[in-house]
Structure 1
Amino acid sequence: MLTFFISVSLLSSWVDKIDRHYNGAKEGVRIEDIEVGRMLPAELNEIVAELAVRCQKLPVEPTLDKDSGAIIDGQKGIIVDIDQTVANALSAAPDSTIKLVLHPLMPRYSKESLEQVRYCIGTYKTGFSGSSARLRNIQTACYSVNHTIVWPGQEFSFNAGTGPRTAERGYLPAPIIMGGQFEMGDGGGVCQASSTLYNAARQARLRIIERHGHSKPVRYVPAGRDAAVSFGDQDLRFANPRAGPIIIKMWVARGTVCAEIWGGEN
């Protein structure tokens, strides 16, 4: 009787070859420019997932031109259908090249939804006084949040909209209230912009999430109607509870700080 001794490694190699022959991609198959012949489904899935990371992109929602307020249409994104791409690779003929299966990802909101924003639902104005540096800071803050879209259910953050009050962003030293006293600080005056916007948001019946009062009364709004902000600490935040988007408009003109909230029909 003859006895055959087959090593475990050799047996494993045979099993692997049989598995790849019957269950893997055929010889010479490529996905885009990558050779995947005889690869098994799990290996193909890993390859396609890596390719997907390179080419997938998220959709971009419509926006507004910062200066003119003109609507800039959104852009669709792309998602790779990994399962279908792998299936196509497994069924492809030898020496063939297949492409990634791509599907469009549409923006959640359309340009038309912004075209319906035609009504001023909240407005507030405050009188300006102070130095040219304080005026510059208010103008810079207003410009930063002007023509900001807040989509339904989305939260607006004044600090996120204006960013740190630094010289690089155009802010200058001006009086600020600290511990009930006036002292010089970068971005002094910005709280008048946030307070003006806060009162417009109140009138528009938006959902106020965060608002802080100053440690000393201010002259530009009635008591209890101010909104102190300090980047990284105190913020003004509110959410849009309406069915459609709202648009924030802010500017400074003729010694007046102006804030408006625009929306669609109630």
Structure 2
Amino acid sequence: MRIIVVLLIFLFLLFLLFPHTSYATVMEFYDEQEDSWLIDLKPYIFEVDEVLLNWNNIQNLTKYMQKQVYKEPENAYIDKDGKIIKEKPGFTLDVNQFHTLINEVYYGEVNKRLQVPKQSIPARVNKDLLKEIQERELNRFTTRFREGNVERTRNIELATEAINNTVIFPGEYFSFNEIVGERTQARGYLPAPVIVKGEFSEGIGGGICQVSSTLFNAVDLQGIEITERYAHSREVPYVPKGRDATVSWWGPDFAFRNKYNEPLLIRATAKGGAMTVVIYTSNDASIFQAKSP
């Protein structure tokens, strides 16, 4: 008898922790042409009293729909041909409107289905901004590499692609590790020579320090504050002595801050054995001047 009681209590707790509503049924009402969802509210009422909605289930449904509806906005960018590709807005669930509609539809005693409301998320960088901040070239720097070293070249290309088209707004910080991300084989990075404690060894992502060093030499100018930079433990051949910037995941980073009153744009390319970084901003850009006390 005790075993049966314990089992019943266990099943009751499971019911409370994991509502029986099946969210898989939600997708049956997805309209691909309209990119919208229709929700059947019948599973979200109290079984003992169909006059009331089960708001525990509604909250779980809300979290589920937030994941389904969310779409990250896409910034405008400059393609390989120099053409500006227009931004695309993102979407998120309009939670307040969602709950309002649930009440209106259910208590209005109409068909218990509703179209899920979405809010638009504007892209951070739009076409007009991108056009404006490529008006004025602040600086550029080029380094060379051997294309025949396939693994190292691939790593340089991936890291270069990651920093290309990055926009740093006034007062913002740029972190190389944050922008480029972890260098793993799953993300396409290959084993290549790296410097560890003054000695050459093999490591995933070898070669990306050439990208960070090229970037450092391009942004090391008035109006950009270098906030984090570390030198290699031995000289590297692709930049002058003392002009390198080593980076590693879970280790040294290269970072700087934009002190202009306008955004900065990083354009980076790696082809034909040359890695180039160009820094742009708008014609109206000026450096923030500290106010005198």
SS in 1 for 2:219: helix
The one-letter code sitting in structure 2 at the alignment partner of 1:122 is: N
Relative distance call for 1:102 and 1:207 in structure 2 (3 A) is farther
Which residue is 2:16 aligned to?
Answer: none
- The offset of 1:233, in angstroms, is 1.6
Provide closer, same or farther for how the CA distance between residues 204 and 84 of structure 1 changes in structure 2, counting only shifts above 3 A.
farther
Matched, 1:115 2:131: yes
The equivalent of 1:126 in structure 2 is 143
Q: Identify the match of residue 87 of structure 2 among 57, 73, 77.
A: 73
Contact 2:183–2:204 (CA under 8 A) maintained in structure 1: no
Q: 2:235 aligns with which of 217, 223, 226?
A: 217
Give a deviation string over 1:58-91, Cα, whole Å, max 9, x none.
5504242664453241223132224422442465
Question: TM-score, with normalisation over the residues of structure 2?
Answer: 0.64
What is residue 278 of structure 2 aligned with on the other side?
Answer: 260
> Could you tell me the TM-score, scaled by structure 1's length?
0.69
Deviation at 1:228, TM superposition (A): 0.4
Q: Secondary structure at the match of 2:137?
A: strand
Structure with more relative contact order (C-alpha pairs < 8 Å, separation 6 or more): 1
CA distance in 2, matches of 1:210, 1:66: 30
Q: In structure 1, what is the equivalent of residue 174 of structure 2? A: 156
Larger Rg over CA atoms: 1
Q: Which runs of 5+ in 1 are unaligned?
A: 1-30
Structure-1 residue corresponding to 2:73: 60
CA 1:165–1:204 in structure 2 vs 1: closer, same or farther (change >3 Å)? farther
| Alignment partner, residue 169 of structure 1 | 188
CA contact (8 A) 1:121 1:263 kept: yes
Percent identity of equivalent pairs: 26
**Alignment-derived partner of residue 250 in structure 2:** 232
Aligned-pair distance for 1:199?
1.6
Look up the equivalent residue of 2:133 and give its one-letter code: V
Q: Name the SS for the 2:278 alignment partner.
A: strand
The change in CA–CA distance for 1:46 and 1:139 in structure 2 (over 3 A counts) is: closer
- Opposite residue 32 of structure 1, the aligned amino acid is I
Change in 2 beyond 3 A, CA 1:50/1:236 = closer
Deviations along 1:126-166, whole A, 9 cap, x unmatched? 34469624444434432333233445555433234164154
1:88 corresponds to which of 83, 104, 108: 104
Show CA shifts across 1:192-228 (max 9, x none): 2210101212237334332211111334334432100
- Residue pair 1:250, 1:260 contacting (<8 A) in 2 also: yes
Structure 1 counterpart of 2:130, which letter? L
CA shift at 1:177, angstroms? 2.0
| Gapped regions of structure 2 (runs ≥ 5) | 1-37, 286-293
Provide the aligned length of Structure 1 versus Structure 2: 234
Deviation at 1:125, TM superposition (A): 2.1
CA contact (8 A) 2:262 2:282 kept: yes
Q: Is 1:191 matched up with 2:209? A: yes
Task: Compute the displacement of 1:260 (Å).
Answer: 1.0
Aligned partner letter, 2:221? Q
Between stretches 206-215 and 245-254, larger displacement belongs to: 245-254
How far does the alpha carbon of each residue in 1:237-263 deviate from its partner, in whole angstroms, 9 at most, with x for none? 234444544332222455543111222
State whether residues 77 and 130 of structure 2, in contact with CA within 8 Å, keep that contact through their aligned partners in structure 1: no
Aligned 8 A contact 1:88 1:98 in 2: no
Q: What is the distance in 2 between the residues matched to 1:222 and 1:78?
A: 48
Distance in 1, Cα, partners of 2:154 & 2:173 = 27
Contact 1:58 1:76 in 2 (8 A): yes
Q: Is the 8 A contact 2:90 2:123 kept in 1?
A: no
2:210 counterpart SS class = helix
RMSD over equivalenced CA pairs, Å: 3.5
Q: Which residue of 2 aligns with 1:33?
A: 40
Alpha-carbon distance between aligned partners in 1 of 2:273 and 2:88, rounded to the nearest angstrom: 36
